[in-house]
Amino acid sequence: MRIVMGAAAAAVALAGFAAPAGAQKLEKIELFLNWVPGGDHAPYYYARKMKRYEAVGIDLDIQPGKGSAVAIQRAAAGASQLGLADMGAALIARGKGAETVAVMNVYANSPQGLYWLKSSGIRSAKDLAGKKIGNPPGDAARVVFPALAKAVGIDPASVTWVNIDANAKLAALKSKAIDATTSFYNIHHIFQRELGDDMGFLPWREAGVNPYGNSILANARFFAEKKPLVAAFTKVTQKAFADCVADPRPCVEALVEANGALKLDNEMVNWSLVTVLMSDEISRSVALGWHDDKRMAADYELAATYFKLDQAFDVKTVYTNEFLDKSIKMTQPKTN
């Protein structure tokens, strides 16, 4: 099902994006991404191109990221008002005193996937015992691997970890320097292209290890002092994501226009994979972008079990659903 909006409905929706009371000029807000711009960031560029942020009093500056940790640090410190980062990483950072508030979820499913070479004798994740897995030291997937090992029925100590750079994972697999690695699902098509029929794959979510992925985080002080502005940003962004699910090409075109080194066809594939990560029972039945209380509680327990939290906290203080429109739900993506 597609989201279709007529002229009258569009006018009503835009009225709902009205600028906060008294806002006469644009307020500059920086959104610090989790990584360099790619297909998963298309809705922000689309909404900016269509001047939807301007319509609610926001001059949005989108900055390329260097990983979730940096985005969280900047948002928590107030260097950026908003950041896009992995929710699990945000929980860990909160346990160390970094205060942010998640206002919208993007990856309702964990983007983590396990990749291996079939030629190494691995038929499923149960065959990882005695094999070499390549990951950077401290990689989040590596730290949480015991949870995956338990889910698939192997001893987490039965694998050998090989320290490699994040950008060397695919090359190391192709050269057979390692037998397996982990990677985000939104570049799944690149692994498929490079490994072909020799690629084995298991999404962590299918193994029952499915913490929330990327969410939009607001600096806690900015959230408290500029709540109407945060609400306006969230509403525009939620609508933009829904529009990009319904018709992705204009959104991805806006992304490519703003980032000339990107290729439209590649980012269209990237976006299509992102829509898989966006879709779960909650995003389809409650609202697109919704953080479910039970899942957040489970994610907190996962973080507390496998990572060191310097201080305990109430997980409900690190996210809110109050700005999300429950009439906007995840739908069946359109393919162009």
In which band, very low, low, confident or very high, does the pLDDT at 336 lie, cut at 50, 70 and 90?
Answer: low
In a domain, 330, yes or no: no
As a whole number, mean pLDDT of residues 91-114 equals 96
Confidence at residue 24, expressed as pLDDT on a 0 to 100 scale: 56
Residues 185 and 226 in one domain: no
Residue that has been written with the tokens 């994979």 in this structure: 273
As a whole number, mean pLDDT of residues 189-196 equals 94
Residue 23 has pLDDT above 60, yes or no: no
What does pLDDT average to over the chain?
91
Residues 91 and 116 in one domain: no
Residue 153: partners with Cβ closer than 8 Å, 6 or more residues away:
126
Residues 278 and 202 in one domain: no
Tell me which of 175, 207, 239 is where a domain ends: 207
Residues 82 and 173 in one domain: no
Stated as kind and residue range, the H or E segment containing 336 is none
In the three-class reduction of DSSP (H, G, I as helix; E, B as strand; rest coil), residue 85 is classed as strand
Count of positions (residues) in the chain: 336
Q: What is the pTM (predicted TM-score) of this model?
A: 0.88
In which band, very low, low, confident or very high, does the pLDDT at 13 lie, cut at 50, 70 and 90?
Answer: very low
Residues 265 and 192 in one domain: no
Confidence at residue 9, expressed as pLDDT on a 0 to 100 scale: 42
Number of domains in the chain: 2
Residues 302 and 263 in one domain: yes
As a whole number, mean pLDDT of residues 280-300 equals 98
Tell me which of 147, 179, 207 is where a domain ends: 207
In a domain, 9, yes or no: no
Residues 126 and 198 in one domain: yes
CATH code where residue 86 lies: 3.40.190.10
In a domain, 18, yes or no: no
As a whole number, mean pLDDT of residues 101-114 equals 97
Confidence at residue 156, expressed as pLDDT on a 0 to 100 scale: 95
In which band, very low, low, confident or very high, does the pLDDT at 11 lie, cut at 50, 70 and 90?
Answer: very low
Tens digits of residue pLDDT in 36-79: 999 999 999 999 999 999 999 999 999 999 889 999 999 999 99
As a whole number, mean pLDDT of residues 184-207 equals 94
**Could you tell me the residue range of the domain that residue 304 belongs to?**
26-109+212-317
Residue 293 has pLDDT above 50, yes or no: yes
In a domain, 329, yes or no: no
* DSSP H helical ranges for the chain: 7-15, 42-49, 52-55, 68-77, 87-94, 140-152, 169-174, 188-195, 220-225, 227-246, 248-258, 264-278, 281-285, 293-306
In a domain, 44, yes or no: yes
Confidence at residue 255, expressed as pLDDT on a 0 to 100 scale: 98
Confidence at residue 335, expressed as pLDDT on a 0 to 100 scale: 64
Q: With contact defined as beta carbons under 8 Å apart, do 107 and 68 qualify?
A: no
Residues 91 and 223 in one domain: yes
Confidence at residue 8, expressed as pLDDT on a 0 to 100 scale: 40
Residues 137 and 171 in one domain: yes
Residues 35 and 101 in one domain: yes
Residue 140 has pLDDT above 90, yes or no: no
DSSP 205-220: GGGT-----EEEEEEH
In which band, very low, low, confident or very high, does the pLDDT at 139 lie, cut at 50, 70 and 90?
Answer: confident
* More confident call, 18 vs 288: 288
In a domain, 15, yes or no: no
Residues 196 and 225 in one domain: no
Tell me which of 187, 207, 227 is where a domain ends: 207
In a domain, 16, yes or no: no
As a whole number, mean pLDDT of residues 203-225 equals 97
Residues 103 and 118 in one domain: no
Residue 1 has pLDDT above 60, yes or no: no
Q: How far apart are CA 111 and CA 109, in angstroms?
A: 6
As a whole number, mean pLDDT of residues 306-319 equals 94
Confidence at residue 67, expressed as pLDDT on a 0 to 100 scale: 87
Confidence at residue 173, expressed as pLDDT on a 0 to 100 scale: 95
